[in-house]
Amino acid sequence: MKNFLGVLILILTLQIPSHADYINHIQKFKIEGISVGDSLLDHFSEEQIKDNRQILTYKSERFITQEFLKSKFSLDSFDSIQTAYKNGDPKYINYSISGSIFFPNNINACYKKQKEILKELDKKFGKLESARKIPLKTFKHGIDDSGKSKVTTAGFSLKDYEVVVQCMDFSNKINLKDELVVAIDANEFIKFLQTEAY
């Protein structure tokens, strides 16, 4: 956990010189050394990518989401990372990068950590003219037909990206651990999640 906080503080202390430089800042925002717009081939072999194929099955096959677990890969700060790329893209270009810390049966600890991270993000993005704050809200997770799995999210919307911090509270029906997610998503991937994925 100390490693995670150290890396997060390093990321969040990057300077944002001006409105024009915010895209540059986002490109420097890396999770386990990976950023949106990177080719996964710069970080993993094609065999590793294919072996970690898909963790979620979407209704649309336009995007593929993969998870790389700490137990199989050398991750410093997170229990897992997730990436998303377009199906059939030979370069495996990232449209989303997120890091997860698992909080099995301890969603309140997740909410506490989320609050701390959002406070740090507000110090950096809150002063940007181009940033719109995404207020804290809770909604049903689309993966769970029962409606019992919840997502609590907040962050900042920028011109081409969203930076969000989420707590995922999964029901017993879903075989997933509750988790904290720190993510940067390109708008194209966000639109896919909202209109095609579920």
Confidence of residue 126 (pLDDT cuts 50, 70, 90): confident
Per-residue pLDDT reduced to its tens digit, 94-121 = 999 999 999 998 999 999 999 999 998 8
Q: If residue 63 lies in a helix (H) or strand (E), which one and from where to where?
A: strand 63-69
Residue 124 has pLDDT above 80, yes or no: no
Span 50-70, mean pLDDT? 84
Q: In this structure, what token pair is assigned to residue 170?
A: 């999964």
Lowest mean pLDDT among 18-22, 73-77, 131-135: 18-22
Q: Which pLDDT belongs to residue 19? A: 37
Q: Give residue 198's pLDDT band: very low, low, confident or very high (50, 70, 90).
A: confident
Confidence bin at 28 (pLDDT 50/70/90)? low
pLDDT band, residue 51 (cuts 50/70/90): confident
Mean pLDDT of the region 116-130: 84
Name the least confident of 98-102, 116-120, 140-144, 168-172: 140-144
The predicted pLDDT at position 53 comes to 62
**What is the residue whose two structure tokens read 């579920």?**
198
Taking each helix axis as running N to C, give the angle between helix 107-125 and helix 2-12, from 0 to 180 degrees, rounded to the nearest 10: 20
Q: Per the confidence metrics, is the pTM higher than 0.75?
A: yes
Centre a 10 Å sphere on the Cβ of residue 77 and count the other Cβ atoms it contains. Answer: 20
